[in-house]
Amino acid sequence: MLNNIKDEGIILNVKDFRENDKKVDIILANDGIISAVAFGAKKSRKRFGGNLDPYNLADFEILSTKKGFYLKEVSIKKIFTNIKQNIQTLSILFNITKLLTSKPFNINKNIYNALLKLLIKLEDEKNDMTRYYLSFLIYFLKKEGLFSSTNCYICNSRDVHHLIFDQDSLLFVCKKCSNSKDNLTDEEIDFLKTCLNGDKRFQNKHYDISTLLKIELLLIEYINRHFYIILDKLQK
């Protein structure tokens, strides 16, 4: 049975497919992440024009069949021009694309909205790109159930100083329940908790670059190990 999908979305990745076609990874507002074939897109730009560029906001019409998805129409709604002129923002989005396409996630609209908000923040060059990038990663891990609580996972104390991880989750630990000397600073703990709790004061808080670097290292180490991918560290 043939079905038409009409939805808003963001192209994450485009790659050559067969002799004349391209395969397009798209995150859709209501239908998750799909990989759709764009017939004729490799040899001719007339079919889709420049509408297959990654990280633009667009409306899509997609044919869904038993054999897969096929792109019919793409209509651009917003082009994020500044993002594509900045090496750091491109590095951020390449990492996010690697993460979101690393396995078949059950992506819901909350993740889509979080990604769209991130694109808007990255487009504004006045924003601190790193903090919003890390906030998205933390939000994604939380939605995947990998951050269970901001309290100590052993005694439930709120006074935590460590973040440890196993294959299944990231866990906060207090000093009493851990022998580790590698404490997180109060600011690092505050950043993690603020992101996890969805605290709106996040946008007005100042965080030292060393705090963001430490959080980035922790998150990338965990993500690379858990999802079997290699995310690159941002260049500072």
Task: Note the Cα 66 to chain centre separation in Å.
Answer: 28
Task: Note the Cα 208 to chain centre separation in Å.
Answer: 23
| Cβ–Cβ < 8 Å for 21, 35 | no
Domains and their CATH numbers in the chain = 3-78 (2.40.50.140), 82-227 (1.20.1440.120)
* pLDDT surpasses 70 at 2: no
Give the E-state strand segments of the chain in sequence order.
3-17, 21-28, 32-38, 57-65, 68-78, 147-152, 160-165, 170-174
Q: Which long-range contacts (CB under 8 A, 24 or more apart) does 191-198 make?
A: 191/131, 191/134, 191/215, 192/138, 192/150, 192/163, 193/150, 195/134, 195/135, 195/138, 195/139, 196/138, 196/142, 196/147, 196/150, 197/150
Instruction: Summarize the confidence of residues 57-80 as an average pLDDT.
Output: 94
Instruction: Summarize the confidence of residues 55-80 as an average pLDDT.
Output: 94
The pTM of this model reads: 0.92
Instruction: Summarize the confidence of residues 53-64 as an average pLDDT.
Output: 95
* pLDDT surpasses 90 at 75: yes
* pLDDT surpasses 70 at 187: yes
* pLDDT surpasses 80 at 170: yes
pLDDT in tens, 117-149: 999 999 987 778 999 999 999 999 999 999 978
* Phi, psi angle pair for 161, to nearest 5°: -135, -5
| Cβ–Cβ < 8 Å for 88, 235 | yes
pLDDT at position 8 is 97
pLDDT, averaged across the chain: 91
Portion of the chain with pLDDT greater than 70, in percent: 98
Six-digit token string for 110: 């909350």
